Chains A and B, each alone.
Chain A
Amino acid sequence: MSVLVIAEHDGKQLKPGTTNTVTAAAKIGGDITMLVVGHKCAEAAQVAAKIAGVKKVLLADAPQYAGSGAENMAALVLTIAGDYGHILAPATGFGKNFMPRLAALLDAQQISDISAVVSADTFVRPIYAGNVMATVQSADKVKVITVRATGFDAAAEGGSAAVENLAAGPDTGLSRFIGQELSKSDRPELTAARIIVSGGRGMGSGENFKILEALADKLGAAVGASRAAVDSGFVPNDYQVGQTGKIVAPELYIAIGISGAIQHLAGMKDSKVIIAINKDPEAPIFAVADYWLVDDLFKAVPELTQQL
């Protein structure tokens, strides 16, 4: 049986997570087809064709696929689903939106957020904010799966798949895309960054995030945040790391003024090296930190930036 991987992209490049999903597909086995859906996204299809292990790329390019419309996306994938035994997408805001819709239309129980492939029908997935790992076996004919990127390496380049056009599916007309407000930043994306500097409520204000950004710039790092920092309006929502935010596993994660609630740990505890700076010697974040410093962040962070 073949495996279908649905690519997340910005029209030109694949988003981080898609290549990790290809690696998960390769572990399942079988030929891998990549589906690229969007409006004016032929360039992304060419990038997809170069990923090692991808046999074929299907490109569905139509105005109705601007925006993330789950209804049209699910309706399109449904037209080709019969050719595949497994359908995979990254477990990001993109995949989480339309994949369950597709699964329901296929009468399949989706397997969310897998972090390991045991066999073609058995997978490991975190539950309870990553405090428990469940091994689950699916009896469904087609397995609809979202993939936790941090569980798999990114697939390398080196493929030369053919790109075929796929006719657009039905336009359900159920929802109308008005627009997106994307936060702009020159820093690396959180889910792709090698180093992340994250701030919590202890930062005190959005203005104070400047000292953290100075450190991030010195390290070429992405900037993340706890939910408390987002809810307090210090930074935009897409900075949030955790159970309900982004799941990250960089080489180095620096948690500053973050207490370490289980919901935050859920999003970062698989990082290779964790540093925590907190003035409270009892902060739970220290339990997962490799190196921890008990100090006032307003003193320690500028010092750290300066010494690096």
Chain B
Amino acid sequence: MKVLVTVKRVIDPYVKVRVKSDGTGVETANVKMAMNPFCEIAVEQAVRMKEAGVVTEIVAVSIGAPQCQETLRTAMAMGADRGILVETGTVDMQPLAVAKLVKAIIDKEQPKLVIMGKQAIDDDSNQAGQMVSALLGWPQSAFTSAIAVNGDSADVTREIDGGLEKLTIKLPAVVTTDLRLNEPRYVTLPNIMKAKKKPLEVLKPEALGVDITPRLKTLKVEEPPKRSAGVKVADVAELVAKLRNEARVI
């Protein structure tokens, strides 16, 4: 079966982001970029399923600036067979527009399973996967920590607030990944070289017939208020005294 995975290019999760001085966005010039961690988990899952003989082809999709080609190459170095970039330039891509583009590609590619990250760690929206599945009228499994395909359905385990939930969903379906689905592999140099030769198609949103005009207007961005500096206590007795007499929370 064919699997489609989505990979977003984001600021590296361990970089401290800075707000631009004019409050219009965050500084991205000369900032280290990376594949969204949840998308790495999505690619890893697809590759493991291919290694297990369940999956025959993996198509990776990224949406954004031309540099997303690098993210697609990383996905291919991990084991994806080919890549599709929808070049949207500098437009602020919001989850609904992303979902419409992904749906348009799914209509062409006809995968049996779509694996997406549960959340992009830049906009923290946690929407696109659920939206893709809604637009297709497919079942969804959001925040998935285990998946086993059985013919025309899949048994999935989802992380919910009180613990875990198990579902059986019909295929085709959209699954979004949670952290504990797997631990992504590191890419090796030979695989990076191999990935350079894999096919990478570039499309424009117009070719897919999707209007990507943002629905949300960002009026401003700012840093949250800073906490005032705390104090170091010498020992447990001082800590207890501070809690009782100063903070008065116990």
Contacts and interface: CB of A to CB of B under 8 A. Distances in A.
A131 B161 contact: no
Interface in B198-250: 214-224, 227, 230-233, 235-237, 239-240, 242-243, 247, 249-250
Secondary structure class of chain B's binding surface, majority of residues: mixed
Contacts of A137: 216-217, 219
Contacts of A140: 215
B136 to A, nearest CB: 10
Nearest to A307: B240
B22 interface: no
Contacts of A290: 227, 230-231, 247
User: What is the size category of the interface that chain A forms with chain B?
Assistant: 35 or more
Given A68-B160, A132-B17, A275-B239, A269 B227 contact: yes
Given A251-B249, A293-B236, A181 B215 contact: no
Interface string A76-92: 00000000000000001
Interface stretch (B77-85, B93-101, B188-196): B93-101
Interface in A240-299: 243-244, 246, 251-252, 262-263, 269, 272-275, 286, 288-295
Contacts of B40: none
B140 A101 contact: yes
Given A128-B11, A178-B155, A237-B163, A231 B142 contact: no
Interface stretch (A22-30, A32-40, A109-117): A109-117
A134 interface: yes
B62 interface: no
A53 B219 CA distance: 30
A108 B36 CA distance: 24
Interface string A89-107: 0001110111111111101
B227 A93 contact: no
Contact of A68 (B165, B178, B236): B165
B88 interface: no
Residue in B97, B127, B180, B231 with the greatest tally of chain A CB atoms within 10 Å? B127
B249 A135 contact: no
Residue in B14, B130, B170 with the greatest tally of chain A CB atoms within 10 Å? B130
A237 B131 contact: no
B239 A291 contact: yes
Residue in B99, B138, B218, B233 with the greatest tally of chain A CB atoms within 10 Å? B233
A136 interface: yes
Contacts of A295: 235-236
Contacts of B121: 128-129, 243
A307 B236 contact: yes
B163 A236 contact: yes
Contacts of B239: 275, 291, 293, 304
B151 interface: no
B131 A104 contact: yes
Given A104-B135, A236-B163, A292 B215 contact: no
B210 to A, nearest CB: 12
A109 B215 contact: yes
A284 to B, nearest CB: 10
Nearest to A130: B224
A59 interface: no
Interface of A: 15, 67-71, 74, 92-94, 96-105, 107-113, 122, 126-140, 174-183, 191, 195, 219, 227, 230-231, 236-238, 243-244, 246, 251-252, 262-263, 269, 272-275, 286, 288-295, 300, 303-304, 307-308
Given A138-B216, A288-B230, 10 more contacts: A67-B165, A111-B216, A127-B122, A136-B217, A137-B217, A227-B179, A238-B159, A291-B231, A293-B239, A295-B236
